[in-house]
Chains A and B, each alone.
Chain A
Amino acid sequence: MSRTKSFIVATATTLCLSVSLLVSGTRRVHAENVPVIDITAKRFAFSPDKITLKKGQTVKLRLHSEDVTHGFFLRPLKLDEEIPAGQTTEVTVTPETAGTFTTICDHFCGANHGNMNMTIVVE
């Protein structure tokens, strides 16, 4: 393994440590060597409901719907994704600003849709 590669893997592992408290099975590194975070959408919550990212570090969010179509919207991080029913949507994000943000499901999914959201912390 080259130095560069092991460095990236180490970074990914560090990142995932903060996430793995909440999700199991998130320690995956994609072929492009970008850390991957799995998020599940199911009426009317995201799981995990909080993730922590590092400013300037690119990650891949793998968004999976377990039931109907959901959305994943957060203007400050330029996220505006659709997660079709039962499918997975992948999006790569490089947060540029630190802060605590609320990502919402913006695809109407039923009774408690209005409060379907999760927190993204950018450190």
Chain B
Amino acid sequence: MKQTDRRSFLKIAASSVGIGLLYSAYPAALSAGEAGGLFSALGRANGEKPSPFSFVQLSDAHVGFNGPPDPLGTKAFERAVDMINALPQRPDLVLFTGDLTHDTEDRDVHVQRMKQFQEISKRINVPLIKCVPGEHDAGLDSGGLYREFFGETHYSFDHRGVHFVALDNVTRAKPEVGSEQLAWLKKDLARFPKTAPIVVFTHRPLFDLRPDWEWFTSDGDDVMNVLSAYDNVTVLYGHIHRDDEHQIGAVHHYASRSLIFAFPDPTGVAGPRKTVPFDKEHPFKNLGIRTVSFNGKSEPGATSLSIEDVELTAREFQGINGVHQLFRNPLV
């Protein structure tokens, strides 16, 4: 547990029993006046003042994958859908950070997998689902089929005062974003003040987490250079099928668990990447979802964005993965 704010954690936990993983944003440590000024400024830049909402991050469902290591198929994904639908407060949106489907060279089979993903994700009771592709969705055909189903692979949108950026680091078949997309990112962010709350969601880590397992983005440093001009950036990603938390400058990076199988902690593990063995007794162990809530209020003494990762096992909480500030430097 790192820098966790007790108060906000307890508040979150109380509303999330049995849900899975919860992720919560608070504009913290601001007086009512400061926050009001910040929100007004963001409203002017963004078209929308920050206001309360929550969202969910899902990742790596690999629809179509059938073990080893695990025989779950889409069970964990469907369980996650049920959990989201059981949330006491309906989230505004779901972010899916890649590997919606598992790869196959048979186009028809891949079409079926994408359809199946859509069928299951349609059952999520949210107004908006936003995705980025993973290499298993888009690595073999430069994202051709993915685009037919889910649209562009990088884009941005504003939601209640938070700017969301979908970054694609898979369709060039390599772990890279590429110069065109970098130029687009710069342009996209140019209209925002330094303090704008920005959530970047992508598939692979934007830093060298474990390059020999392909847990990196080769031009991730270039992306970070662009993002480092902003004070309040959160990067959400998948790919590594496990929790991870990392800070580069003021930017916090969080990996989400998968909905199919888990990879182990790479620390001290030499050699090839192996999956965590499937545990029949605890089929959903090490799998998870993440929900994020943002109360949009100025609450003196409250903290900012807190993230809690809980396994995809009903009524079982396991650990919190830290806290960071959505609003690090209030704009006055």
Contact = CB atoms under 8 A, between A and B. Distances in A.
B174 interface: yes
Contacts of A117: 212, 272
A110 B140 contact: yes
A102 B218 CA distance: 15
Given A80-B218, A114-B273, A115-B273, A108 B173 contact: yes
A110 B105 contact: yes
Contacts of A73: 174, 211, 218
Given A71-B174, A75-B208, A114-B273, A108 B135 contact: yes
A102 B212 CA distance: 6
Given A110-B140, A114-B273, A104 B214 contact: yes
B50 interface: no
A70 B156 CA distance: 31
A26 interface: no
B273 A107 contact: no
Contacts of B170: 108
B103 interface: yes
Interface residues of A, number: 17
B68 to A, nearest CB: 12
Contacts of B135: 108, 113
A91 B115 CA distance: 42
A66 interface: no
A65 interface: no
B27 interface: no
B212 A104 contact: yes
Interface residues of chain B: helix, strand, loop or mixed (majority): loop
Contacts of A21: none
A80 B176 CA distance: 11
B213 interface: yes
Contacts of A80: 218
Contacts of B288: none
Contacts of B205: none
A82 B103 CA distance: 21
B197 interface: no
A71 to B, nearest CB: 6
A82 B139 CA distance: 14
A106 B218 contact: yes
B20 interface: no
B174 A107 contact: yes
A69 interface: yes
Given A75-B208, A75-B211, A80-B218, A106 B272 contact: no
Interface of A: 69, 71, 73, 75, 80, 82, 102, 104, 106-108, 110-111, 113-115, 117
Given A104-B214, A108-B139, 7 more contacts: A71-B173, A106-B218, A108-B140, A113-B135, A114-B214, A117-B212, A117-B272
Interface of B: 103, 105, 135, 139-140, 170, 173-175, 208, 211-214, 218, 272-273
18 contacts: A71-B174, A73-B174, A75-B211, A75-B218, A80-B218, A102-B212, A104-B212, A104-B214, A106-B218, A108-B139, A108-B140, A108-B170, A110-B103, A110-B140, A111-B103, A114-B213, A114-B214, A115-B273
